[in-house]
Amino acid sequence: MNLDQWADDLRRKADALKNSDRILVLSVGSALSKMGPRIFEKGQDVNGGTRNYNNTDPIWFPDSKAPKGSQNDGKTGRARKTSYYSSYEQFHIQQGRGGSPMNFRLNNDLQSDLLNSSVGRTANVVATPKVKKVNNLEAVISLNRSENVQKANGLEKRFGVKIFELSNSEIEVFRDAAAFEFRKLFNQ
């Protein structure tokens, strides 16, 4: 291959890169597929730290907010609007969400919003992430609903550490996936 052919081939590949979102979607999707389980299964912040649920203070929790509801009866035999639990951890376990460490998942609303993927209120799985593309060269990882932005900000303020951002290892996964795809494209 002479220099002109090589330059034409390089231009063709550069044009293909500009007109395709494949590398972006694969790279961001790879990072998100690590971020979801880190937050919503392992309950880790960006540094790998975890938090435990409160297991000592009793709480009354609104039945309407509980994904699986409650079967508690009031003193008169009619259903109550709130239910008593010996601790938030006990409530979380009763709802089928597991105990400590804290996994930031009760009704899956925060998870569905962050990963841009729907998962049912009672599902006990991490959603499959969908990439939010701005264009072929830009994607965003963000919360869309204001109540979830407030939840995330409140949790990060309460614990004093970032949770809902890419960790260094997730950024590395993004870079590795992008580099792999670039090498694959340019070595064709």
pLDDT of residue 142: 83
Q: What is the 3-state secondary structure (H, E, C) of the chain?
A: CCHHHHHHHHHHHHHHHHCCCHHHHHHHHHHHHHHHHHHHCCCECCCCCECCCCCCCCEEEEHHHCCCCCCCECCCCCECCEEEECCHHHHHHHCCCCCCCCCCCCCCHHHHHHCCCCCCCCCCCCCCCCCEEEECCEEECCCCCHHHHHHHHHHHHHHCCCCCCCCHHHHHHHHHHHHHHHHHHHCC
Within this chain, do residues 115 and 44 fall inside the same structural domain, yes or no? Answer: yes
Residue 73, domain extent: 52-100
Q: pLDDT tens, 82-127?
A: 777 787 787 777 777 777 677 777 777 888 888 876 655 555 556 6
Within this chain, do residues 129 and 113 fall inside the same structural domain, yes or no? Answer: yes
Q: Classify residue 119: in a domain, yes or no.
A: yes
Within this chain, do residues 65 and 123 fall inside the same structural domain, yes or no? Answer: no
Highest mean pLDDT, choosing among 14-23, 62-71, 103-112, 144-153 = 144-153
Within this chain, do residues 144 and 188 fall inside the same structural domain, yes or no? Answer: yes
pLDDT of residue 72: 60
Q: Classify residue 6: in a domain, yes or no.
A: no
Q: Classify residue 5: in a domain, yes or no.
A: no
Within this chain, do residues 73 and 155 fall inside the same structural domain, yes or no? Answer: no
C-alpha closest to that of 108 among 150, 65, 159: 65
Within this chain, do residues 123 and 32 fall inside the same structural domain, yes or no? Answer: yes
Q: For helices 22-40 and 168-186, what crossing angle results, to 10°?
A: 160
Q: How many C-beta atoms surround the C-beta of residue 169 within 10 A?
A: 14
Q: For residues 162 and 14, which has the higher predicted lDDT (pLDDT)?
A: 162
Within this chain, do residues 112 and 96 fall inside the same structural domain, yes or no? Answer: no
pLDDT of residue 128: 64
In terms of phi and psi (left: phi > 0; alpha: psi -120 to 50; beta: otherwise), the region of 33 is alpha
Q: Mean of the pLDDT values across residues 44-67?
A: 79
Q: Classify residue 13: in a domain, yes or no.
A: no
Within this chain, do residues 171 and 132 fall inside the same structural domain, yes or no? Answer: yes
Q: How many folded domains does the chain comprise?
A: 2
